[in-house]
Amino acid sequence: MATAKPLISVVDDDESMREAVRGLMKSLGYTAEAFASAEEFLSSRQVPRTSCLIADVQMPGMTGLELHRHLVASGKTIPTILITAYPDDSMRARALEDGVVGYLSKPFDESDLLACINSSLPADAP
Amino acid sequence: MLCRTAAALSTGCAGLALLTWILVASDFSHPATGALLYLIVIVLLSITGNIAAGLGLAIIATFCLDYFFTEPRFSFQINATEDVIAVAAFALTAVAIAVLAGRARRSGETRALKDRLQLIIDTIPAMVWSISPNGSSDFLNKRFRDYTGLSLDDIRDWARADALHRPWMNALHPDDRSMDDWSAALAPGEPFEKEARLRQFDGEYRRFLLRFVPLRDEWGRIVEWYAKSTDIEDLRRAEEELRRRDARLRDAQMALAHANRVTTTGQLAASIAHEVSQPIAAALTNANAARRWLGAAPPDLEEVGQALDRIIRDGIRASDVIGRIRALVRKVPPRHDQLDINEVTREVIALTRGELRSSGASLQTKLADGLPLIPGDRIQLQQVMLNLILNALEAMNGSSQTARELLIGTEQDGSGSVLVAVKDSGPGLKPESRDRLFEAFYTTKPNGMGMGLSICRSIIEAHGGRVWVTADQPHGATFRFTLPQQQEAAC
């Protein structure tokens, strides 16, 4: 019943961080996939299956926010949570304006992340 | 010699002829007076000329006495027996006088020569003495005596009291008197040099370079050693002062390099925060996951273990970053390790990753495999790379070029040295600044001190390498430095 579990995709160029977030998602009962860059995620087959996207803001190449905008522009809207090691109020404002569900700074509180995920997933999720 | 004898003889003959002419012309025929006057001429010639000329003149004078003054006159014939005796006595006297006067003159000359040599030996700016093979000194020049305040008698007394030792050694500093050292130096019987301190009359010790040369007899046995000493105290003091200044300069350079490292590390604050906060955030996230797996029914211990492994890895990563930062700002003397330049480079890149991100530059690395290890100081070389990378990022930040690309490469050059290149896509360099970039206090930045690149150059040169910059087309600049495998200059 793999399809019953929502897929959460994690995009972060920092290996420790992306493995940690993927591990946390698994412990919360989600299926999680990790990608080292926005480009790697976009070229994967997981885009249409992804229920929620957790992406780092600062990445070489396409940034997390650019990835979100790209998905919106191509009509594949996925609820997106941005995480950043460089919290910046103006960036946060722009991101929320662009419709991201959450903007969290590292290290983030587990409950904050959970709240963001829950708000982006349908009510029947685990 | 023959020439001088002939010249002296002709002068004597001329004197003799003049005297004879005066006496004959004035009809003065008293033989004893003639003989006496002739003897005077012979004495004069022997004193001023040489013995051979004196002897020659004595013989000629004998014939003259016989011819001009002995009856019958103007003939070599002698009739009276007493005249024969008189002429013979004159000949004997003349010869004896010539020999004695010559000897007197020669001994005078020898004494003069001896005095002159003594004067030279006493005046030359060095202490000179001789040592017999048993170690006693029978000659010390005046400089030696003046310097040490010792008299010849003192030396002789020492020799008597201490015949088996080397009495002149009493003038040496006690630490320079080791009999074993001196015996070892004298044993081969070859000329040798030794540095030693000699005691001055007022008790002060000065350093001297002592040179010893043996004099051998026809059978090759050493008859005597001749020693000469040159005062090198001032030279040694100047060398020591130079060394002290060098050390002070090195200390100052170290302090400057350290200040630059602290400043440069300060510029990395954002990177450091990122590099430390990233693994900490990951560790916290992993801890949350582990707690969830533990709280599950049943607890998934395998997942807990995996999360804990990741926490350990994250912890190590964070502490590595802190360790590298601490190494950069610590003030330690330069080290000489065998370094893998690629590893050194990767560590610096890890520290600047945050800077690269925030400046929006992309980094490409081209690190050649199989590079030789190079001797050097890891921290200093990282400091050089850090300066070059931060300069490159700064150059690109101020540039209107849209693509910000940093390339860091390592390779081996033709001479076997390792070459490191840091290439940026900034606006490049003006030719006039390119030549002066490595000068101290030269800067093209509004807030720059102008020390970074000059410190980089001293570090690379201390590693025996070279650092230079080239302007790239159409824009950008590449800084390169080499590090030889064998180091000539001391770091």
CATH number for B189: 3.30.450.20
Query: Do both B339 and B465 map to the same domain?
Result: yes
Distance CA B458, CA B466 (A): 9
Tokens representing residue B484 in the block: 């030889």
B131 and B112 co-located in one domain = no
Residue B423 belongs to a domain: yes
For residues B399 and B361, the answer to whether their CB atoms sit within 8 Å is no
Q: B363–A16: do the CB atoms touch at under 8 Å?
A: no
Sequence-distant (≥ 6) Cβ neighbours of residue B400 within 8 angstroms: B427
Determine whether the interchain pair A24/B362 forms a contact, defined as Cβ–Cβ distance below 8 Å.
no
Note the pLDDT of residue B401. 62
What is the torsional sign of CA B70, B75, B76, B82?
A: negative
The structure tokens listed for B416 are: 């076997």
Could you tell me if B133 and B74 lie in one domain? no
Q: Could you tell me if residue B284 is inside a domain?
A: no
Across residues A26-30, what is the average pLDDT? Answer: 92
Q: What is the pLDDT tens value at each position of chain B, 491 positions in all?
A: 678 888 888 888 898 898 888 888 888 778 888 888 888 888 888 887 777 888 888 899 899 888 888 888 888 888 888 888 888 999 999 899 888 888 888 888 889 998 998 888 888 888 888 887 766 677 788 888 888 887 777 766 655 555 445 556 778 888 888 777 877 888 888 899 989 998 888 889 999 999 999 999 889 888 888 888 888 999 999 999 999 988 887 787 777 778 888 878 877 777 787 788 889 999 999 999 999 999 988 999 999 999 999 999 999 999 988 888 888 777 777 778 899 999 999 988 888 887 887 787 889 999 999 999 999 988 889 889 988 998 888 888 876 666 788 999 999 998 889 999 999 988 877 777 777 778 766 666 666 666 788 888 888 988 889 999 988 888 888 999 999 987 654 44
Q: Is residue B249 part of a domain?
A: no
pLDDT score, position B491: 42
Q: Is B42 helix (H, G, I), strand (E, B) or coil?
A: helix
Backbone dihedral region for residue B441 (phi beyond 0: left; psi -120 to 50: alpha; all else: beta): left
Residue A112 C-alpha, separation from nearest chain B C-alpha, in angstroms? 12
CATH number, domain with residue B483: 3.30.565.10
Residue A114 has pLDDT above 70, yes or no: yes
Clarify whether residues B345 and B481 are in a common domain: yes
- Give the Cα separation of B355 and B349 in Å (integer): 10
Residue B472 φ/ψ, nearest 5 degrees: -100, 160
User: Which position has the higher pLDDT, A61 or A55?
Assistant: A55
Tokens of B134: 């048993």
Whether A107 has a pLDDT exceeding 90, the answer reads: no
Domain boundary among B120, B136, B168: B120
> Which of B272, B275, B284, B288 is the mutation pick for testing A, counting most A CBs within 10 A?
B288
Residue B353 lies in a domain: yes
Res B489: pLDDT: 45
Q: Which two tokens stand for residue A63?
A: 């940034």
Residues B86 and B227 in one domain: no
| B484 prior amide bond cis, ω within 30 | no
pLDDT of A24 above 50: yes
Amino acid at A64: G
HSE (side-chain half, CA atoms, 13 Å) at B109:
10
N residues, chain B: 491
Compute the distance between CA of residue B110 and CA of residue B368 in angstroms, rounded to an integer: 83
Question: Are B345 and B482 contained in the same domain?
Answer: yes
Please state the separation of Cα B199 from the chain's center in Å.
Answer: 25
Per the CB < 8 A criterion, the answer to whether B66 and B87 are in contact is: yes
Name every chain A residue with its beta carbon within 8 A of the beta carbon of B277. Answer: 85, 106-107
Is the same domain home to B383 and B462?
yes
Q: What residues of chain B lie within 8 A of the CB of A86, using their CB?
A: 270, 274, 358
To the nearest whole Å, the CA of B245 is away from the closest chain A CA by: 48
Q: Nearest 5°: phi and psi at B420?
A: -115, 135
Taking only the tens place, the pLDDT of each residue in B252-268 is 777 777 888 887 887 77
The reply to whether B38 and B110 lie within a common domain is: yes
Q: What percent of chain A has pLDDT over 90?
A: 56
**Could you tell me if residue B32 is inside a domain?**
yes
Of B120, B137, B172, the one marking the end of a domain is B120
Query: For residue A106, which residues of chain B lie inside 8 Å, CB to CB?
Result: 277-278, 281
Is the separation of the CB atoms in B58 and B94 below 8 Å? yes
Q: Please give the Cα distance from B326 to B321 (Å, whole number).
A: 9
Task: Classify residue B328: in a domain, yes or no.
Answer: no
Helices (H) and strands (E) in chain B, counts: 14, 12
Q: Residues with Cβ < 8 Å from B294, sequence gap 6 or more?
A: B304
Residue contact A16–B314, C-beta within 8 A: yes
Quickly state the pLDDT bin for A125 (edges 50, 70, 90).
very low
Residues in chain B within 8 Å Cβ distance of A60: 356-357, 362-363
Q: Cα torsion for B131, B137, B143, B146, to the nearest 10°?
A: 160
Residue B446, φ and ψ in degrees, nearest 5: -60, -35
Q: HSE-up of A99 (CA within 13 Å, CB side)?
A: 12
Q: What's the structural domain count of chain B?
A: 3
Q: What are phi and psi of B53, to 5 degrees?
A: -65, -40
Contact: B278, A86; criterion CB under 8 Å: no
Query: Distances from the Cα of B155 to the Cαs of B195, B311, B388, in angstroms?
Result: 22, 85, 70
Q: Which of A14, A23, A85 sits opposite B286 (nearest CB)?
A: A23
Chain A contacts of B294, Cβ < 8 Å? none
- Angle at the Cα of B146 (from B144 to B152), degrees rounded to 5? 65
Same-domain status, B362 and B416: yes
Fold of A2-120: Rossmann fold (3.40.50)
Looking at the DSSP assignment, which residues form a beta bridge with residue B129?
B140, B227
Domain limits for position B363: 335-491
Between the CA of residue B383 and those of B389, B456, B484, what are the distances in Å?
Answer: 10, 8, 18
pLDDT of residue A68: 94
Residue to test with chain A: of B272, B277, B284, B285, most A Cβ within 10 A? B285
User: Rounded to whole angstroms, what are the CA distances from B57 to B9, B24, B79, B95?
Assistant: 7, 19, 24, 9
Tokens of B120: 């030279």
From B278, B284, B303, residue closest to A85, measured CB to CB: B278
Question: Is the Cβ of A48 closer than 8 Å to some Cβ of chain B?
Answer: no
Proportion of chain B in helix, strand, coil states, percent, rounded to 5:
55, 15, 25
Q: Which residue has the higher pLDDT, A96 or B258?
A: A96
DSSP state of A4: G
To the nearest whole angstrom, how far is the Cα of A10 from the nearest Cα of chain B?
A: 13
Tell me which residues of chain B have a C-beta less than 8 Å from any C-beta of chain A.
270, 273-274, 277-286, 288-290, 292-293, 296, 303, 306-307, 310, 313-314, 317, 354, 356-358, 362-363
Same domain for B14 and B140, yes or no, is no
Average pLDDT over residues A97-118: 90
Same domain, yes or no: B400 and B462: yes
pLDDT, residue A2, reads 45
Token pair, residue B433, equals 């600044």
B283 in a structural domain: no
Whether pLDDT at A77 is above 90:
no
Q: How far is the C-alpha of A14 from the C-alpha of B468, rounded, in Å?
A: 34
pLDDT for B490 equals 44
Domain's final residue, options B208, B231, B254: B231
Q: A85–B274: do the CB atoms touch at under 8 Å?
A: yes
Are B490 and B355 in a shared domain? yes
Say what the pLDDT of residue B273 is. 79
